[in-house]
Amino acid sequence: MYLLVLFVLVTSPLAYPQVILTGAAWFSSTPTGATSVSQAYADGFTNTVGGDQWWDLWLALRPDASLPVNGPSDSQAAICIPLQAGNSYKYYIFSAEFCCTLRYSGLSLHFDGNSSTPGISVFGPVNGTSFVPDNATILSLTGNPVAGSGTSYYASAGVVAVLTEFKWNGSATPPGDVCQPFAFIPDPDGQAGPYGSFTIQVWPAASVSLSQGSGAPGTKLTLTGGGFAPNEEVVVYGGHVGVLPIIATAVTDDCGSFTVAGHEPEHPLGPMDVFAEGAASGKLGAATFLVTPGMAIRPVGVAPGGDTTAHVAGFGAGEIVDIYWNEPRQLLGAATTDPEGSGSATISIPTSAAAGFDLVIGVGRNTEAIALGVVRVQ
């Protein structure tokens, strides 16, 4: 009996927690992360599916497109990549699409054979490094309209796979020079194709939960976690793991659990991933919080004709937010948000405003999101 047990231990392969990356798609998007079949035809959609109407998305291990993961023929477009806990994986991606006016693009990743529902969906500005989770209507791996996952992580089988980097560049000089369909060779016309990269890091899973699921930046949250090592420090990040801002830090109890309070950081409208990372165990808990727009007026009390400042948050990144007086409706000014969706504008209270409380309304031009602020007319 002992010999049999020893034989099984020696001859059985070691089992590592893992998920399988089985599909990737790049797509052009609106400033809110949405796309459609018509936009895909006009501005671009590429995938790791052979034999369909869309160009293929190529993955390689080097920025010059050498060491390809898939291709170079259409029949070899598919991918099947095991991702194991404790490892980080970087892939350079290349497209046969050529579009020189694109401002935003997205990436969706599919796991464990699911070609219809993405496990990770993000979007961001072209030629930039920032990206956020995407819950808009996008296209599935096979090019059908679906809802984005709204997260930059995929959790399954005891691991959490997190997209820690996504970059997409417009057509440029090499190493973007792979525009020819179905082959890692230069475009015969001499045009350089668009290219980018993404990185996935994989952690063993812990858990984290939030006291509420949505709110404007500044909302107070209570975070609860479990499955970490006993008495270890846990750092809770808002947006991207390992990157500021830090929402809170905590030390787990003897059972590897914690409860801590924090405030929602500035973040653009839409889903925001929250990550809790154990310093000793290397475990990661992940949850998603829906950021809604908010507005604060400072000072609140102001006389008719006087000036005050409208501070807006939780709108789209780089979005113009028009600010209106409620009744009678009139435009007071506009704020342009920063990459975190926040901004401010000086506004003048109408000279005809009656004493008392009244509303100021902020409306995002791209997202059409609405936030309300309160003014006390003195």
Write out pLDDT tens, residues 27-64.
999 999 999 999 998 888 999 999 999 988 989 998 77
Res 196: pLDDT: 86
C-alpha torsion 253→256→259→262, nearest 10:
110
Q: Are 175 and 195 contacting, i.e. CB atoms less than 8 angstroms apart?
A: yes
Domains of the chain, each with CATH number or no CATH? 18-204 (no CATH), 207-291 (2.60.40.230), 294-377 (2.60.40.1930)
Q: Are 138 and 29 contacting, i.e. CB atoms less than 8 angstroms apart?
A: yes
263-298 exposure pattern, b = at least 16 Cβ within 10 A, e = fewer? ebbbbbbbbbbbbbbbeebebbbbbbbbbbbbbbbe
Res 158: pLDDT: 94
Res 16 pLDDT > 90: no
Res 174 pLDDT > 50: no
Res 3: pLDDT: 43
Sequence-separated (6 or more) residues with CB below 8 Å from residue 275:
153, 162, 208, 236, 237, 240, 241, 284, 285, 286
User: 106 has which bridge partners?
Assistant: 27, 123
Beta strands of 61-192 (E only): which ranges?
81-84, 88-95, 104-111, 120-125, 132-133, 137-139, 145-147, 153-156, 159-169
Tokens at residue 290, please? 């829906």
Cβ-in-10-Å burial (0-12, 13-18, 19+) of 178 comes to buried
Least confident of 141-155, 189-203, 278-292, 358-372: 189-203
The mean pLDDT of 172-188, rounded to a whole number, is 42
Res 193: pLDDT: 61
Q: Are 347 and 302 contacting, i.e. CB atoms less than 8 angstroms apart?
A: no
Q: Using 50, 70 and 90 to split pLDDT, how confident is the model at 73? A: confident
Distance from C-alpha of 23 to C-alpha of 115, rounded to nearest angstrom: 7
- Using DSSP, state whether 267 is helix, strand or coil: coil
Tokens at residue 12, please? 């059985």
Place of tokens 């997205």: 106
More confident residue, 42 or 183: 42
